[in-house]
Amino acid sequence: MAFAGMIRAAGGVLWRRAEGISLVAVVHRPRYGDWGLPKGKLDAGERWQDAALREVREETGYEADLGEFAGVVTYEVRGGYKLVLFWNMAARGEPAFEPSEEVDAVEWLPLEEALRRLDHADERDLLRLQTSP
């Protein structure tokens, strides 16, 4: 796989605790009709970590504290490949989620349920390797 022309993206495995249970955020993208982890393309000159935090904020409405590096996912897209770097994150504050054309729903699920909800095997594999903060 050549890296020239590869689409660079970043995202987060966003965690929070509720009633003593660790929950992870999954987002629904109406354009594709799928459930996934929050992620998106880097802006020009943007650092990977900054893009990950921005995308999580844009897609979930939560500010987050950056944690450990979670891993890498690559997949084929029209005309090439996408490389996505993920970080574990802890949600903080109150959400400011607004449904949009890009993401119309956010759900907070226990790990096992999130694994069942995610539509892409590569994201399920990445999530299986994580431990909640």
What is the tens place of the pLDDT at every residue in 8-18? 999 999 999 99
DSSP H/E element including 94: none
Kindly list the structural domains of the chain, giving each domain's residue range(s) and its CATH number in brackets, ordered by start: 7-128 (3.90.79.10)
Asked if residue 133 has pLDDT above 60, the reply is: yes
d(C-alpha 121, C-alpha 105), whole Å = 20
> pLDDT tens digit string along 35-77?
999 999 999 999 999 999 999 999 999 999 999 999 999 988 8
DSSP H/E element including 114: helix 111-117
Mean pLDDT of the chain: 93
Contacts of residue 33, defined as CB under 8 A and 6 or more positions apart, other chains included, come to none
Asked if residue 1 has pLDDT above 80, the reply is: no
pLDDT at 4: 59
pLDDT at 3: 55
Q: Residues 114, 127: contact at Cβ < 8 Å? A: yes
pLDDT at 95: 85
pLDDT at 73: 96
pTM of the model: 0.93
pLDDT at 92: 95
